Amino acid sequence: MPKLNPINVLIKYQKIIMETYYQNNNRPKATWECLQNKLPELSNSMSFNTFKQYLSVFLALLPELDKVIQEKNLIAQKLETVKSENHNLKNKLQSTSQKLYKVIQEENETKQNLKTVTQQNTELKDKTVNLKIELDKVIQKGEIDKRHAQTLDNQPKKINNWNIQKAKDGYYRCYRKIDKKVHSIYIGKTLDIQKAQRRISEKEQKIGLYKVIQNKT
């Protein structure tokens, strides 16, 4: 069986998924386990980790998605109403020639309404497509942020006994407490190990680190 698109599954079974989620006190794991019997398609389309990640994004976009769905349903109702009115007008046209002029006017108005509603329906379809694209972008950004975080975790925490920190401004600096005084060294936007070692060496020579150590001993 081909693997289904996770976004399409979430949208298609939105009502069941959200009811189960709220019944399980907003717990993704419990919701996933409960849905295994209700929605076999869920396991065929994604893993639990994917479900958990998509669900958090889906919850954030749910108000906008509900709005689009409601508008779509309203347009569909209007479309059916207009089609019914158009059908009735055609019957009137066949049954009475005396009201021919009036019926033609009403039919033209109905056709214009049908055109407007059809155009609105097309615009709503475009909104749905754009919403799916934005959802994909958010998921992709989340994956990039996750990989970036993993990269930061693999970076060294110390160089030559100097602690490395990335400040809120996005720049790396080295810190070390020497003789009750905290010294800092600016590294830059990226953590270049060789550059850091060179600047540490320059800093240690400037503050006479080895003299301080010798005096203590």
At 126-163, the pLDDT tens digits run 888 888 888 878 877 766 655 554 444 456 788 989 99
Task: Confirm whether 32 is domain-assigned.
Answer: no
Higher pLDDT, 212 or 51: 51
Name the maximum alpha-carbon separation found in the chain: 117
**Average pLDDT of the chain?**
83
Number of domains in the chain: 2
pLDDT of residue 210: 64
Quote the CA–CA distance of 19 and 68 in Å, as a whole number: 19
Are 147 and 166 members of one domain? no
116 and 86 together in one domain? yes
User: 51 with 148, same domain?
Assistant: yes
Do the Cβ atoms of 83 and 76 come closer than 8 Å?
no
Does 33 fall in a domain?
A: no
Inside any domain, residue 19: no
Q: Domain end: 153, 172, 187, which one?
A: 153
Q: Are residues 122 and 208 in the same domain?
A: no
Q: Which two tokens stand for residue 68?
A: 């689009």
Give yes or no: residues 131 and 187 share one domain.
no
42 inside domain: no
User: Domain of 145?
Assistant: 47-153
Residue 189 backbone zone (phi > 0: left; psi -120 to 50: alpha; other: beta): alpha
Name the burial class of residue 58, with classes exposed (0-12), middle (13-18) and buried (19+) by CB atoms within 10 angstroms of its CB: buried
Statement to judge: residues 200 and 115 lie in one domain: no
| Cα–Cα dist 67/121, whole Å | 14
Given 153, 183, 206, the domain boundary residue is 153
The per-residue pLDDT for 157 is: 85
pLDDT of 142 reads 66
pLDDT at 217 over 80: no
The residue assigned the tokens 């070692």 is 197
Domain contains 95: yes
- Does some domain include residue 29? no
User: Is residue 36 assigned to a domain?
Assistant: no
Residue 140 and residue 167 share a domain: no
Q: Is 178 left (phi over 0), alpha (psi -120 to 50) or beta?
A: beta
Residues 115 and 129 reside in one and the same domain: yes
Rank 153-157, 162-166, 211-215 by mean pLDDT and report only the highest: 162-166
| DSSP structural state of residue 4 | P
Rounded to an integer, the average pLDDT of 17-22 is: 90
Mean pLDDT for 90-113 is 84
What does the block give as tokens for 147? 């990989």
Q: Clarify whether residues 104 and 180 are in a common domain.
A: no
Residue 23 to residue 105: CA distance in whole angstroms? 54
Q: Domain check: are 62 and 117 in the same one?
A: yes
Give the CA angle between residues 8, 13, 14 to the nearest 5°: 95
Q: Does residue 61 or residue 66 have the better pLDDT?
A: 61
Q: How many residues does the chain have?
A: 217
Does residue 28 lie in a domain region?
Answer: no
The pTM of this model reads 0.31
Q: What pLDDT is stored for residue 33 in this prediction?
A: 92
Please give the Cα distance from 12 to 128 (Å, whole number). 13
- Whether residue 173 is predicted with pLDDT greater than 90 in this model: the reply is yes
Domain boundary among 109, 131, 153: 153
Six token digits for residue 157? 């925490």
Backbone angles phi, psi at 185, to 5 degrees: -135, 125
What's the CA gap between 60 and 128, in Å, rounded? 16
Among 6-20, 83-97, 100-114, 162-176, the range of highest mean pLDDT: 162-176
Judgement on whether residues 55 and 145 belong to the same structural domain of the protein: yes
